A and B are shown apart, each in its own frame.
Chain A
Amino acid sequence: MTTEAVTSAEAEFRETTSDADAAASAVAARPIAADREIVLAVDSVSLSFGGVKAIRNVSFDIRKGEVRAIIGPNGAGKTSMLNVINGFYHPQIGTITYHGKTRKQMRPYLAASQGIARTFQNVALFKGMSALDNIMSGRALKMKRGLLWQMLRFGPALREEIRHREVVEQIIGFLEIEHIRKTPVGRLPYGLQKRVELGRALAMEPELLLLDEPMAGMNLEEKEDMSRFVIDVNDHFGTTIALIEHDMGVVMDLSDRVVVLDHGELIADGTPSEVQANQSVIDAYLGVAH
């Protein structure tokens, strides 16, 4: 690449904006994230599959109530990082500290029961069920009525079902998906599927919400809607959010702090503007050999 091309690409990179200006100012008005208490911290985590090192010695933390973006070129290890936090992958080295407890690895049930919820890059909905049932399944941890009541249904089990249905309906209203609640999710367009998946994660009433490319494959309007949902969740419920995203505009406007991964390593950690100006980040994205 010629010097002019690199400079203009850099300039373009700095200038990316999104249309969600209201969102930008809302984020800008919040108190500084780095001063709040730590919700989750990963320390010196390394993960490899066979010979492939997916994550090398990565440490960062996520603070209460913030929106933390995890960015980086493809193959940087971002999804693997979320999988480690969820307990789906177990790192060979390093620890995960959540709620003050430090562990060598998380377990999926533990993560879920302690308030970590998640969406996936390739939508991981239950294709055989309707949108409503998918979101209701997110209430699984909260539904307690035992086997015998379930067999009878009428009585306590049905009342519990209705109670949770009411909560789920609020989520459905919030995400504006009332019209498709009974549709089997396999038939829904991609954008709506992602919304249902977000609904399912929200149904868990999580403390920490992990979103893996929630806006992938969406058009501008859908992205605006999704950004609005993410901000609302963060604002109204105070949910801490960790977000993998490729759209720079979204990242810059939505997040309090950003972690940048490249080839499994952490190359930057700071506020959006700090990261945007970081040379190694720019190099990573432009593919400069290093």
Chain B
Amino acid sequence: MFYRENGQFKTSYAADQAVFPILQDRIALAALLFVLFVVVPFTFSDFWLNSVLTPTLIFALAAIGLNLLTGYAGQLSLGTGGFMGCGAYACYKLTTIFPDVNIIILIFLSGIFAAAIGFIFGLPSLRIKGFYLAIATLASQFFLEWAFGRIAWLYNYNASGAIEVPTRTLFELPITGPTATSATRYLVVLAIVLVLTFVASNLVHGRIGRAWMAVRDMDIAAELIGIRLLRTKLLAFTISSYFCGVAGAMMVFLWLGAAEVESFDINHSFLILFMVIIGGLGSIIGCFMGAIFIWNLPILLRSTFGGLIDAATVEHISFMIVGALIIFFLIVEPHGLARLWQIAKEKLRLWPFPY
């Protein structure tokens, strides 16, 4: 009864085109943002900030990146981990070379390097489609993994091959490195993720998003209405890799504090892909839902059954559950949690009536 559009008439196309046309949605979003920015940093424990919220946000951003490419533009990619790594190593080199430049700026800049690599590996999409393209993205994944290990310059010739994050500050407050608090890091991540989510949302609601979806749904028809296929696909690869690159940089600098070669291996690519599938292909809010679900399921299992079963078994069981759930979702609701959420809202509109 309270979730109705009664009395909310759109008197202009601008109002109709809004991303959150229903007033109740806007209020809910504002409240959520308030809680996230103001309430959480001061009330949640370090565990929640470090192990739940910060990684969920970071992976959600990577999921948005992958979703733009796979969910909106229809180009299946298995190279997400590699692109995240590009961003992370780029950021590391940038801050090594320019230690005085603000790290947040460098994080945004490092995405550009990932975007450039994404552009190059997107070139095959001119000629190759479908599964073959997915296999081609694996080429990028394996090549980048190899490069991260081989090119010693990337990790400053460190003997172990790993990188450690130096302390960087914002207005005298440490935000990266061992001295930065969980709350500070969480807030920076939250801000960056929000900004980029805003950008992603704008893109998909405009002509670029439509061009992507046209290429995804029927690229032949898209070509015949004047959409340039290569340009559109390359744009998808580039922007997607940018998002993944920033996510990777944040992963290392604002969450883990360190990285090694395995940090960006193919398992990460699958992790993000699962978040996108379960959350819903072609849905930005789905990325958040997928990230929350996939990342926190093992944590939930561990904390519930932690005393009863050992850690290794918990991991095995979470693999099984994730795998089974993927199949389940694909059967029951291929559009993922986002669609379930939409259906719930539809029902909420009619509540308390059943239909």
- A residues lining the B interface (CB < 8 Å): 86, 88, 108-109, 111-113, 117-118, 120, 124-129, 133, 136-141, 143, 145, 147, 150-153, 157-158, 161-162, 165-166, 169, 200-201, 204
Contact = CB atoms under 8 A, between A and B. Distances in A.
A86 B226 CA distance: 11
Interface string B233-260: 0010000000000000000000000000
A112 B225 contact: yes
B14 A140 contact: no
A155 to B, nearest CB: 10
Shortest 6 CB-CB contacts between residues of A and residues of B: A112-B226, A153-B202, A141-B226, A126-B217, A124-B221, A108-B223
A234 B225 CA distance: 20
11 contacts: A112-B225, A126-B217, A126-B222, A127-B217, A128-B213, A136-B207, A141-B225, A150-B206, A153-B205, A153-B206, A165-B13
Interface in B1-24: 12-14, 17
Given A126-B218, A152-B199, 9 more contacts: A112-B226, A113-B226, A129-B214, A138-B225, A139-B207, A143-B207, A150-B203, A150-B207, A151-B199
A168 to B, nearest CB: 10
A140 B207 contact: yes
Contacts of A138: 225
A4 to B, nearest CB: 48
A125 B216 CA distance: 11
Interface size class of B (residues with CB under 8 A): 20 to 34
A157 B226 contact: no
Interface of B: 12-14, 17, 199, 202-203, 205-208, 210-211, 213-214, 216-218, 220-228, 235, 282
A162 B235 CA distance: 24
Which of A113, A136, A153, A200 has the most CB atoms of chain B within a 10 A radius of its CB? A153
Nearest to B16: A165
Contacts of A137: 210-211, 213-214, 222, 225, 227
Nearest to A111: B224
B45 to A, nearest CB: 36
B225 A204 contact: yes
B206 A161 contact: yes
Nearest to A83: B224
Contact of A166 (B13, B216, B227, B235): B13
A88 B213 contact: no
Contacts of B225: 112, 117, 137-138, 140-141, 200-201, 204
B107 to A, nearest CB: 17
Contacts of A125: 217-218, 221
